[in-house]
């Protein structure tokens, strides 16, 4: 029993010592240089352009502006993007995306304003205010608080739907490579 235990301990110790030896020392003992065969390839932009299926950036070519020093090189002529003529992947410009985003934003503002007004009105009402009692002593079903709550629920659903539509539009614009400021 002691022999088995001693053998197990020695094998564990040998494994631990072997695992703690750096790979570079083992490579030296084998006659190789440390790190040989493990060099990593550094890819440059030129390498990427040579790959199959590489697409160029859809951003327009940069133009230089004469008379201004370049911050990077110190030479005359600063590079500037030609954003006025830029179009998205499908050939649509800023006007197209503004026509789609502005109505959503305007409607969202109207709905948000109406929600704010109704919530402030609701805070001003007490629990019993707005309840009507008819001549026979029964409570009339036209409770103002219930109407306000129903309208608020409707407006909150409408606001959620507008938020989803706005996110879908932003996602569509991103996929079409439209500039983000076109949606603002």
Q: Where are the domains of the chain?
A: 1-36, 57-86, 94-183
How does pLDDT run across 124-149, given as a tens digit for each residue? 776 555 566 677 777 665 567 788 88
Q: H helices within 30-143, ranges in order?
A: 45-50, 94-124
Pair 111, 159: CB distance under 8 Å: yes
| Residue-by-residue pLDDT tens, the chain, 184 positions | 777 777 877 776 766 665 655 555 655 665 555 555 567 788 787 877 777 776 666 555 555 455 555 454 555 544 455 667 788 888 888 889 999 999 999 999 999 999 999 999 888 776 555 566 677 777 665 567 788 889 999 999 999 999 999 999 999 999 988 888 888 8
Question: 94-124 and 144-175 helices cross at what angle (nearest 10)?
Answer: 160
Helix/strand/coil percent split, the chain, to 5: 55, 10, 40
The answer to whether the pTM exceeds 0.95 is no
Half-sphere exposure of 37 (CA within 13 A, CB side): 6
**pLDDT averaged over the chain?**
75
């Amino acid at each position: 029993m002691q022999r088995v235990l001693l053998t197990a301990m020695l094998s564990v110790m040998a494994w631990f010592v072997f695992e703690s030896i750096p790979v570079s020392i083992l490579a030296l003992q084998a006659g190789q240089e440390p790190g040989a065969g493990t060099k990593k390839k550094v890819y440059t932009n030129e390498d990427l352009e040579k790959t199959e299926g590489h697409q160029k950036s859809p951003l327009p070519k940069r133009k230089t502006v004469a008379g201004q020093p370049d911050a990077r090189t110190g030479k005359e002529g600063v590079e500037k993007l030609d954003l006025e003529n830029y179009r998205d992947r499908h050939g649509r410009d800023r006007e197209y995306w503004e026509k789609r985003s502005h109505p959503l934003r305007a409607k969202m503002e109207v709905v948000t304003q109406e929600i704010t007004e109704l919530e402030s009105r609701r805070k001003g009402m007490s629990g019993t205010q707005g309840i009507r009692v008819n001549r026979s002593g029964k409570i009339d079903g036209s409770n103002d608080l219930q109407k306000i709550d129903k309208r608020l629920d409707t407006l909150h659903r409408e606001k959620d739907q507008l938020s989803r539509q706005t996110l879908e539009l932003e996602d569509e614009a991103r996929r079409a490579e439209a500039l983000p400021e076109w949606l603002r």
